[in-house]
Chains A and B, each alone.
Chain A
Amino acid sequence: EPEVTQTPSHQVTQMGQEVILRCVPISNHLYFYWYRQILGQKVEFLVSFYNNEISEKSEIFDDQFSVERPDGSNFTLKIRSTKLEDSAMYFCASLTEANYEQYFGPGTRLTVT
């Protein structure tokens, strides 16, 4: 069964450094999402992406964040200058209009020290 993959599984970085989180959505999906989950809290929407542009973003998704689909398969989330409060689990998801179900990747645990 096709699945969403994410790399790395765990990333440790120092405050102020740039990080890029990578996702490979399911191949025939057209809608892509990033969510984050701070430990012990609920899952929060960051951004949605369709047709090579952002379709919606949350208040969390400020100028420090960007997304890109550099080729036909990868979907990336970049944080330009990480803060301690960016420490969280970041989930990528993709969706097909066939059933409007979002399929989640296994997540990347980001630790900012």
Chain B
Amino acid sequence: AQTVTQSQPEMSVQEAETVTLSCTYDTSENNYYLFWYKQPPSRQMILVIRQEAYKQQNATENRFSVNFQKAAKSFSLKISDSQLGDTAMYFCAFTQQGAQKLVFGQGTRLTINP
């Protein structure tokens, strides 16, 4: 069974700093998708960024980028120039190729301080 581990329960940085959230996963599959979801206090699940395992290039979305290390099964999220609105829970998630269920990590609570 696939598992996703986020080893940082909480993180806190100052506004405008860069922060990196860690995620590791375990799978025997070769083709899969990885995601980072943001969950603000409203508890809405918002997709931040996605990465296809077959792509070597790391995904980027504006201030958000990932460091995908397939051999190490690592998928970290970097937030540059952090903003107060980035304060939220962040969940790393995995899915096999195809329309399969998402497997989530435990989450990292990120606080951006003014």
Is B104 positioned at the interface, with any CB of A under 8 Å from its CB?
yes
B102 touches A35 (CB 8 A): yes
A55 to B107, CA, bound (A): 27
Is A75 positioned at the interface, with any CB of B under 8 Å from its CB?
no
B44 touches A100 (CB 8 A): no
B99 touches A42 (CB 8 A): no
A55-B99, A102-B47 given. 6 additional CB < 8 A pairs? A33-B101, A43-B45, A43-B91, A44-B104, A48-B101, A104-B47
Q: With CB as the reference atom, state the residue of chain B lying closest to A37.
A: B43
Q: Could you say which of B37, B44, B47, B99 contacts A31, with CB atoms under 8 Å apart? A: B99
Task: Classify the interface of chain B: helix, strand, loop or mixed.
Answer: loop
A108 to chain B minimum Cβ distance, whole angstroms, is: 10
B104 touches A42 (CB 8 A): yes
Contacts of A99 in B (CB 8 A): 50
B45 touches A104 (CB 8 A): yes
A50 touches B91 (CB 8 A): no
Known contacts A44-B104, A45-B103, A107-B44; A100/B91 CB under 8 A: no
**Which residues of A does B touch, CB under 8 Å?**
30-31, 33, 35, 37, 41-45, 48, 50, 55-56, 58, 89, 91, 93, 95, 97, 99-104, 106-107, 109
Is B98 positioned at the interface, with any CB of A under 8 Å from its CB?
yes
Contacts of A95 in B (CB 8 A): 99
Contacts of A91 in B (CB 8 A): 45
A22 to B105, CA, bound (A): 26
Q: Which of B65-85 contact A (CB under 8 A)?
A: none
Contacts of B64 in A (CB 8 A): none
Q: Can you identify 29 A-B contacts, CB atoms within 8 angstroms?
A: A30-B99, A33-B101, A35-B102, A41-B106, A42-B91, A42-B104, A42-B105, A42-B106, A43-B102, A44-B104, A45-B102, A45-B103, A50-B99, A56-B100, A93-B102, A100-B95, A100-B97, A100-B99, A101-B35, A102-B47, A102-B95, A103-B47, A104-B44, A104-B45, A104-B46, A106-B43, A106-B44, A107-B43, A109-B43
Contacts of B33 in A (CB 8 A): 100
A42 touches B107 (CB 8 A): yes
